[in-house]
Amino acid sequence: MDSFSFSSAYTGNLPDLILHFEKVKIKLEELNQQNLIPFHDTYLLITKTVAGKIRTGYFENDGDMSLFVISFARFYFDALDQYFKGQSCSAAWMNMFSLCKQNQLPRFAYLMLGVHAHINHDLSQCVRNAGFADSFKKDYLAINAIIEGKLAEAITQIDEKSLVLKRILKMSLFIYKVPVHQIIVLCRNLAWEKSQQVDKLALAYL
């Protein structure tokens, strides 16, 4: 591994973050990490769409949304950086990386593993660490509609290893698109609730 850093710690605005996504995509392709690309491409697609909603009136607080998007992405890029440097990362991300390396699953599964790791492990930590509370919840939930609107595009852009499976996923999209989105929304809602819980140990000292 060369000196390339997957970390997005230096990104301070959304254009820089999107540029970093694109640089990392090139590096993943150079490293022949094709199984990591479905989640990466989907994440970039959603990020670009959210960024495009800034200053349109879609969100109530553009500044908080920009901060949220940048902060949340750092969890993903930090996990990538840790993995490729041979350092420890969260069990959820390590599970995804290990399964990608084994290369025994369809790439749609790797996409969902990435969604699982980033939402169920990272999201509540991001919201809590940034101090987002009720005033941000409406904007946070507004992302659910963006995900719904881009889900079909995200799935159809996956370069599946099997052409037959790619066709099946595309043809049956109308069957599983709604439940997949519902699961994502449920997990995002649970992550929000978890982020708002006061730590019981800290509460004991109040």
Other C-beta atoms lying within 10 Å of the C-beta of residue 76: 21
* 179 in a structural domain: yes
* 6 in a structural domain: no
- Among 132, 24, 127, 28, residue whose Cα is nearest residue 72: 127
**pLDDT on residue 27:** 97
pLDDT band at 1 (very low <50, low <70, confident <90, very high): low
* 2 in a structural domain: no
The pTM is what?
0.92
* 91 in a structural domain: yes
Sole residue written with tokens 């997949």: 180
Percent pLDDT > 70 in the chain is 95
* 8 in a structural domain: no
Kindly report, residue by residue over 158-195, the tens digit of the pLDDT.
999 888 988 888 888 878 889 999 999 999 999 999 99
- State the average pLDDT for the chain: 92
Percent pLDDT > 90 in the chain is 85
* 7 in a structural domain: no
**pLDDT on residue 204:** 39
Number of compact structural domains in the chain? 1
Kindly report, residue by residue over 9-20, the tens digit of the pLDDT.
999 999 999 999
Domain of 83 in residue numbering reads as 14-203
Sole residue written with tokens 């940048």: 70
Three state DSSP letters for the chain = CCCCCCCCCCCCCHHHHHHHHHHHHHHHHHCCCCCCHHHHHHHHHHHHHHHHHCCCCCCCCHHHHHHHHHHHHHHHHHHHHHHHCCCCCCHHHHHHHHHHHHCCCCHHHHHHHHHHHHHHHHHHHHHHHHCCCHHHHHHHHHHHHHHHHHHHHHHHCCCCCCHHHHHHHHHCHHHHHHHHHHHHHHHHHHHHHHHCCCCHHHHCCC
